[in-house]
Amino acid sequence: MKTRNILWLGPVVMLAWTSCHNPKNQNAAPPPTPVNVTQAKIADAVYYDQYQGTVVAINTVELRSQVTGFITGIFFRDGDVVRKGKELYEIDRRKYAAAYEQAQANLLSANANLVKAQKDIDRYTMLLKNDAVARQTVDQAEATYETSKAQVAVAKAGVLSAKTDLSYSIITAPFTGRIGISQVKLGTQVTPGTTLLNTISAEHPIGVDVVINEQEINRFYDLQKRSTDSTFKLQLPDGSFYNKPGKVLAIDRGVASGTGTMKVRVQFPNETDVLKDGMSCVLNVLNSASGERIQIPYKAVSEQMGEFFVFVSQDTIAKQHKVKLGPRVGTDVVIMSGLNAGDKVITDGFQRLRDGGKITLGSPAEQGGSDNKSSSPAGGQSKQPGGGPGRGK
């Protein structure tokens, strides 16, 4: 039995010894990876941060009646631009005209009584000097005079009230703007303060409301003080850009609780009536970091666990650098930190590299098509970043 085991183990030991001393079975060092490189350049980078916005009329008023009655006149066409003071609606005026005339008559009567009371005082005062009338009669005349003065004041107030009601029977445009579709027809009965007649809004200038984070409040206060014609660009729903500059009109009084946001209103001229109240748009705000910045091709960036990396060629060695991205500029991306101008950044063939790996310059497609297969730099899985970075500060 022992002899059989020794005979079986002999060939196994010889095979193991031969395998260990055969150089072809040893792990050979991988060949250098062919890559393409480009230099990190400093170039002018003008870019904008984007905010979803809504076009709003700076001045909008709902037209409601302040007196009751039936609509007897409509003096505009729906959707017209109406001038300030233009008559828009008429409410049956007959009752209010009659009340005004009655109030005027009451004023005339009160004035007549006041004149009579004044004459009585003058007469009785003269008689009192000659002891021809009792002192009590003079006192009564003076009291009657004061009462008549009060009645005149009441009558004047009645005239003013009746005149106001009469004026309310004609509803006029409070400012120049575009009026909407009438909510009432001829003959409709309206109730004071309740019945909505129409809405009018001023369209020039017009505003765009956006919501910002509380971290950006100081930025917009600075923009309010020193914004230029290129600070704000408005993108319309069809993708075109509005050709008028804007400026910060107002910043809301405080931060909304729970959301940490604040509303900002940017004003734009609107002479040609391109911007409409309620329209959706995108407000592009010039980033304060615009200027001479380091840029590299966006395709050279890889992402790992939410962080961004590039490979830099140092002679024949590839070194991985962690970078902070700025906005996209065409096919390039701004590098906020992690690279210096002139660094040789690997743009092709980095998918199979590891930090410190050997490289050789040349077209990866020509020297080995397998380089396009994704491998993990620094031991982790690498991928192209799925989208541009967020708003730069």
User: Of 95-109, 221-235, 317-331, 374-388, where does mean pLDDT reach its minimum?
Assistant: 374-388
pLDDT in tens, 163-205: 999 999 999 999 888 999 999 999 999 999 889 999 998 888 8
Full DSSP string of 131-186: T-S-HHHHHHHHHHHHHHHHHHHHHHHHHHHHHHHHHHTEEE-SSSEEE---S--T
Cβ-contact 343, 30 below 8 angstroms: no
Q: Residue 76 falls within a domain, yes or no? A: no
- The two beta strands, 196-202 and 59-64, are antiparallel
Q: Residue 7 falls within a domain, yes or no? A: no
Q: Residue 1 falls within a domain, yes or no? A: no
User: Of 4-8, 234-238, 385-389, where does mean pLDDT reach its minimum?
Assistant: 385-389
Could you give the count of Cα atoms lying within 13 Å of 79 in the half-sphere of its Cβ?
2
- The two beta strands, 59-64 and 87-91, are unpaired
pLDDT in tens, 218-266: 888 888 887 677 788 898 998 889 988 888 888 888 888 888 889 999 9
Q: Report CA dihedral (367, 368, 371, 377) to the nearest 10 degrees.
A: -60
Tell me: do 206 and 279 sit in the same domain: yes
Residue 377 is predicted with a pLDDT of: 39
Q: Residue 121 falls within a domain, yes or no? A: yes
Q: Residue 114 falls within a domain, yes or no? A: yes
Contact residues for 175 (Cβ-Cβ < 8 A; gap 6+): 59, 61, 84, 200, 202
- The two beta strands, 81-82 and 177-179, are antiparallel
What total of structural domains would you count in the chain? 3
Tell me: do 153 and 164 sit in the same domain: yes
Residue 74 backbone zone (phi > 0: left; psi -120 to 50: alpha; other: beta) = beta
Q: Residue 324 falls within a domain, yes or no? A: yes
Q: Which domain holds residue 221?
A: 50-58+202-286
Task: State how far the Cα of 204 lies from the Cα of 219, in Å rounded to an integer.
Answer: 26
Residue 208 is predicted with a pLDDT of: 92
Full DSSP string of 299-362: GG-EEETTEEEEEEEETTEEEEEEEEEEEEETTEEEEEES--TT-EEEEESGGG--TT-BEEES
Tell me: do 322 and 261 sit in the same domain: no
Q: Is residue 100 within a helix (H) or strand (E), and if so which, with residue range? A: helix 94-129
Residue 223 is predicted with a pLDDT of: 84
Domain boundary among 286, 315, 334: 286
Domain boundary among 286, 321, 350: 286
CATH number for the domain that contains residue 126? 1.10.287.470
User: Tokens 């993708």 map to which residue?
Assistant: 239
Q: Residue 148 falls within a domain, yes or no? A: yes
**Closest among 393, 292, 309 to 351, alpha carbons compared:** 309
Cβ atoms within 10 A of the Cβ of 114, count? Answer: 20
14 band by pLDDT with thresholds 50, 70 and 90: low
Q: Residue 81 falls within a domain, yes or no? A: no
Task: State how far the Cα of 340 lies from the Cα of 355, in Å rounded to an integer.
Answer: 18
Residue 369 is predicted with a pLDDT of: 43
